[in-house]
Amino acid sequence: MLHQTDKEMYWQTVGRALDALIGAPAIDAARGLRTALEALPPEAQEIFYHSEPLEVAKDLAGLRACTPDQTRDYLDKVQRVSRFPSDAAPRPHPR
């Protein structure tokens, strides 16, 4: 089962994606989806949280596809707040 902190981070990322796609987070749509999701069994929630936040935001925004500019904007927003800055990203152990 996913920890609440991980869920919060996921929805923050969806919010950043919505901001990149439509210029402002669609808080009501995201809140409605999150509420509906919490009513599902834990197994179904686990499956949902494997969805790419940009794809979830795209659907919430009613878009068919993301433009390259929207995708770049999203990636830029996410990288700025990443848990692991690029220079501190976990590295595989040498064998």
Residue 4 has pLDDT above 80, yes or no: yes
For 10-48, how does the pLDDT look when each residue is reduced to its tens digit (9 = 90+)? 998 898 888 888 876 677 888 899 999 999 999 999 999
26 closest CA partner among 39, 38, 41, 16: 16
pLDDT of residue 37: 95
Say how far apart CA 58 and CA 1 lie, in whole Å.
25
For the chain, the structural domain boundaries read: 4-79
Confidence class for position 92, pLDDT limits 50, 70, 90 = very low
Residue 57 has pLDDT above 60, yes or no: yes
